[in-house]
Structure formats: C-alpha cells, structure tokens
Amino acid sequence: MINEFAHEQRPSRWRLAVRRAIAGSAVVLLSATGVVALSGTAHAASTLGAAAAEQGRYFGTAVAANRLSESDYTATLNREFNSATAENEMKWDALQPNRGQFNFGNADRIVNHARGQGMSLRGHTLVWHSQLPGWVGGLGTNELRTAMNDHISQVMGRYRGQIDSWDVVNEAFEDGSSGARRNSPFQQRLGNGYIEEAFRAARAADPSATLCYNDYNTDGVNAKSNAVYNMVADFKQRGVPIDCVGFQSHFNSQSPVPGDYQQNLQRFAALGVDVQITELDIEGSGTAQANSYRTVVNACLAISRCTGITVWGVTDKYSWRASGTPLLFDGNYNKKPAYDAVLAALGGTPGGGDPGGPGDGSCTVTYQETDRWGDRFNGQVTVRAGDASISGWTVTVTVGSAQRISTTWNGTPSWDSSGNVMTMRPNGNGNLSPGQSTSFGFTVMAGGDWSAPRIGACVAS
C-alpha cells in the first residue's frame, strides 16, 4: 500500500529525467533513484528522441537483439530513439522456455545496449497468451498461479530499477463486441482475478516500475476499449496497482487511426493512469502515412499524461509486417515523409545543416550505480552529445567527505585539493557524433555513506 501511494505521488523515473534535462540548469540535481540527467541545450532538436524530450516525452522503438550487430541499424537506433522495447526477447517463451530455466542473454543484450546509450526501457511482456511455452498451458490451477507469480518476480526482479514501464498483462480481452476476457490458459484456470493478481505481483517485484495494461484494437472508443476502461476504473477504485495503459496502435487501411483516438486516450488518462503509445506502426507511404503519424503524435502531445510513443521497429525491412512499410525509416535507413512529419509535430527541426564543431555542441549526462559490494560501489556516467557533434566533454563528480574514489576507467581524471571533486575528461572518447554517447566509470569506497555522487552538468567542447 505504501508503495502504491508513493507511486501515485511522483512522476516516473523517465519524467524526472526529462524534466531535469529540460531545466538545463548548471545546478547539480540528484533524483531519488540516483539517476541524474543534466543538459545545456542550445539547439532545436533534430532527432526524434531529443525533440520528444523537449516535450517531456520519450520516443522509443522496438529493438531486436539479433539486429544490434548491424551498424546502420544501431546507428539509427542510437541517434534517433531514447527508449527501447524488446520486440520478442522478454516474452515468456524467450525468457523461461522450460520451468525454472531462465535465458536472459538476449534480453540482457537489449537492456545493456539501451542503458549504455542512456535510453529508458519498456518491458514487454509478462503475462500474455501468445509466445507462451507449452509447459505453462499444461499446468493446473495452483501450479499456474505459482508459475505466473514466479515468472513476474524473477523477470522483474532481474531488471529491478532498470525498466521504466512494464506491460504486465498483454491482450487479455477478446476482439469484437463481446467485451469478454480472452479465453487464455490464465483466464481458464485462474478466472477474472488473474489480471489483478499479476499487477499485485508486479508491484511487489519492482515498486518503482510503471505498471501497464497493453492491448490492440483499443485505440478508439469501442466494446473492447470499454471493457478495458471498466477494468482500469475498477482497479483504480479498489487500489489495485495499475499506473498506465498501453495503446499498441497498429494501423492500416482496414484499421486507420480512429477519429476518436485522442478522446479515447484522454478518457483513460482521466482515470488517473498514464497512457503510452506502445507499438505504433501505420501501413502506407508518402503523405497519407505522414498525415496519420502526425495525428497520432499530436494526440499524445495534447494529453499531459501521454508520457511517450514507441514505434514497433526501426526500419521497414525488419518490421513484423514489412510489406506494409509501416515505419519511419525505409529499408535503407532513409528518413521517410512520416519521419519528417513526426519530427515536426514534436517541435524538432531536421538536422544536417549544422556541422557542429568545437564549442558548438551540447551534451547531457546520466548517472547509474552499476554494482555494489560490502564496502564500495561502482558508478557509471554516460555522456551523450546533443544535436551537434562534439570533440570533447568535461564532467565533475563530487563524492561525500567519507567517500573516496579509488579507481576510474574510460576517462582522464583530475582532482581538486580536497580529493572529493573529480573532473573527468575524455580518454580517447571525446569525439561524439550527434546523439552518440560514451561512458566512464569509477569505484567509490563508501566509508559508510552509500549516497550517489553528485554529477555536474556536462560541458561540451
């Protein structure tokens, strides 16, 4: 209960970071979670992520682990997006193919990549009837309940504090006019209460994560979205921990952006949950596709509780429906008209005209504690270039008087006379292209003080 209350009272980790980034102040700010994001933005944003951040939102994409080795894919991902969702790697069949046997390798690859780039993460998905390994469907009621709760606690526990939002339950309602729950193994064995149970288990597993219900064909007001709406209203009224509703937003000519899209998302937000656009893709091309994307972005921007947008892939060529060319980059990673429309709707301006150069760029920093032992912890600072390339950066790290930095890596440190203020400069990693990031790290001997170091604003050169 205390956790639910605390959650209600404060914005998500992402929101905090965004607000602080926008503040752009040189004053050192430290969030409750120990994540710091500071910037001195001087340019109109020229990437989706940077433009969305200036609107207090994230702009993310689904990521496939096996594409991260393709340099064009990764360059586009890193440059344009500031949030990532594993397209398949966090589904039940990928993570726990046999009971009690967890395979976190591919999920870890995505988490590590995203965090290394300073991106936030959406977790997709814990309880879903699809991509469910055979052993789950064969369990009886009690066993299934145990397995569901175990899966939630193991998976969310592994990534506790690292994943901003989780799709706790996915696609639990039938299509069409019935408004009924989908007849999944969970529904059959555990009954209507399984959704509530999953959300309660999720809150216990990571009290700071934003917990979402996620579905498709719920984008406009219809029987299915009404059923979800009634469930969310009931959960809020009874104190069942739900923080967010995800609207997948897979559109094509048979299923275009509904005329009441904004109104529908708004009525959910009015229940006291965040709304997120979680799997956006719109089949088509040219101006028509661009117009539909613009409508979606404008709807989100018009709703203060619409906290971000995720598109369901980086490039058309790897889309789950590639023939419909539904994404923002074509198969050669060229920006499509839909990209230009989204960037403009977010208030950004196309880049390319600004070659950057010394003193022209800006950078931001984020801090994370990456390890902790009995007497010490490791910290990592990620430095990310803004909209122009930079050729150098300077960041100060101030530790408490009882603390001492014993080791550093990937940077060139210098110290003030007290020994508590370290000024870090590059060690061969000073040249960053727009949106690119690098990290340096250090070990802090805690001396009994486990508070996070204060990270100064990034100064670019």
In the complex, the residues that contact ligand G2I under the rule CB under 6 A are 87-88, 130-131, 216, 248, 279, 320
Closest CA relative to residue 341, chosen from 216, 257, 258: 257
> Which is nearer to ligand G2I, 131 or 141 (by Cβ)?
131
CB of 314 to ligand G2I, least distance (A): 12
Buried b (16+ CB within 10 A) or exposed e, 191-226: eeebbbbbbbbbbebbbbbbbbbbbbbbbbbbbbbb
DSSP assigned state of 432: B
Q: Which is nearer to ligand G2I, 216 or 393 (CB)?
A: 216
Half-sphere exposure of 113 (CA within 13 A, CB side): 25
Q: CB 202 → ligand G2I: shortest distance, Å? A: 18
CB atoms near residue 110 (< 10 Å): 22
R_g of the chain computed on alpha carbons:
22
Rounded-to-integer distance, Cα 328 and Cα 283, Å: 10
**174: annotated active-site residue:** no
Please give the helix or strand (H or E) that residue 167 lies within, else none: strand 165-170
Decide whether 79 or 122 has the Cβ nearer to ligand G2I. 122
- The least CB distance from residue 87 to ligand G2I, in Å, is 5
Which residues are registered as beta bridge partners of 123?
166
- Name the residue whose CB lies closest to ligand G2I: 320
3 or 131: CB nearest ligand G2I: 131
User: To 5 degrees, how large is the angle CA 258–CA 260–CA 266?
Assistant: 125
Q: How far is the CB of 428 from ligand G2I (least distance, A)?
A: 37
* Residue 70: active-site member: no
CB closer to ligand G2I, 280 vs 395: 280
Which residue lies nearer to ligand G2I by CB, 279 or 316? 279
Least distance to ligand G2I, CB of residue 132, Å = 10
Backbone angles phi, psi at 115, to 5 degrees: -65, -35
Q: Least Å distance between CB 20 and ligand G2I? A: 32
What is the Cα 193 distance to its own chain's centre? 28
Q: Report the nearest approach of ligand G2I to the CB of residue 167 (Å).
A: 8
Q: Per the residue annotation, which of 89, 171, 197, 283 is the catalytic one?
A: 171
What amino acid occupies position 279?
Answer: E
**Helical pair 337-345 and 286-301, crossing angle rounded to 10 deg:** 20
Cα dihedral value 206, 210, 213, 214, nearest 10: -110
365 in helix, strand or coil? Answer: strand
State the Cα–Cα distance between residues 449 and 403, nearest whole angstrom: 7
Nearer to ligand G2I, 214 or 429 (CB): 214
Residue in 261, 290, 289 with CA at minimum distance from that of residue 275: 261
Say how far apart CA 297 and CA 51 lie, in whole Å. Answer: 12
Nearest-approach distance from CB 92 to ligand G2I, in angstroms: 11
User: For residues 301 and 281, what is the distance between their CA atoms, to the nearest angstrom?
Assistant: 18
Q: Which is nearer to ligand G2I, 55 or 319 (CB)?
A: 319
| Residue number, 215 or 360, with CB nearest to ligand G2I | 215
Q: Cα 72–348–37 angle (5° rounding)?
A: 80
Residue whose structure tokens are 């526990």: 157
The least CB distance from residue 129 to ligand G2I, in Å, is 10
The residue annotated as part of the active site, out of 80, 87, 279, 283, is: 279
How many other β-carbons are positioned within 10 Å of the β-carbon of residue 431?
A: 14
> How many Cα atoms occupy the beta-carbon half-sphere of 424 within 13 Å?
30
Give me the active site residues, please: 171, 279
